[in-house]
Amino acid sequence: MTQLTEIERLLEEQVRPQLALHQGNLSIISLTDDVLTIRLLGACANCPSASLTTEELIASAVQSRFPQIRRVVLDTGVSDSLLTQAREFLTSRHTGAKNQQGVT
């Protein structure tokens, strides 16, 4: 059995039932260089506590059984560069709207 299969089994037994209580789930994106990247699904995907859930529930369960896993990373599905572009766009629109209204 591969390590990824064993991690999937652990998640199925210990983590997914807890996430399901909140209408959520997770998927494994990758396991590279002892870093497990996951994505939360369902109601958990947009939950303000997603980072806390990742650390306290998912990472602790995975790392207790697989101490060689150095980190569990939450993939939000949005790249940092896209977020930066969106912020710049929204800031410029906000500034432009203020200037049109004569607000400085």
What is the residue range of 38's domain?
Answer: 3-77
Instruction: Decide if 98 is inside a domain.
Output: no
9 within some domain: yes
CATH assignment at residue 29: 3.30.300.130
Parallel, antiparallel, or unpaired: how do β-strands 71-74 and 24-32 relate? unpaired
Report if residue 41 sits inside a domain.
yes
Please name the residue that has the structure tokens 């494994």: 28
Residue 28 confidence (pLDDT): 96
Confirm whether 86 is domain-assigned: no
- Model confidence pLDDT, tens digit, residues 27-75: 999 999 999 999 999 999 888 899 999 999 999 999 999 999 999 999 9
> Residue 30 domain-assigned?
yes
Residue 15 lies in a domain: yes
Global pTM reads 0.73
Into how many domains does the chain fold?
1
Decide if pLDDT at 91 tops 70: yes
55 phi/psi in degrees, rounded to 5: -70, -55
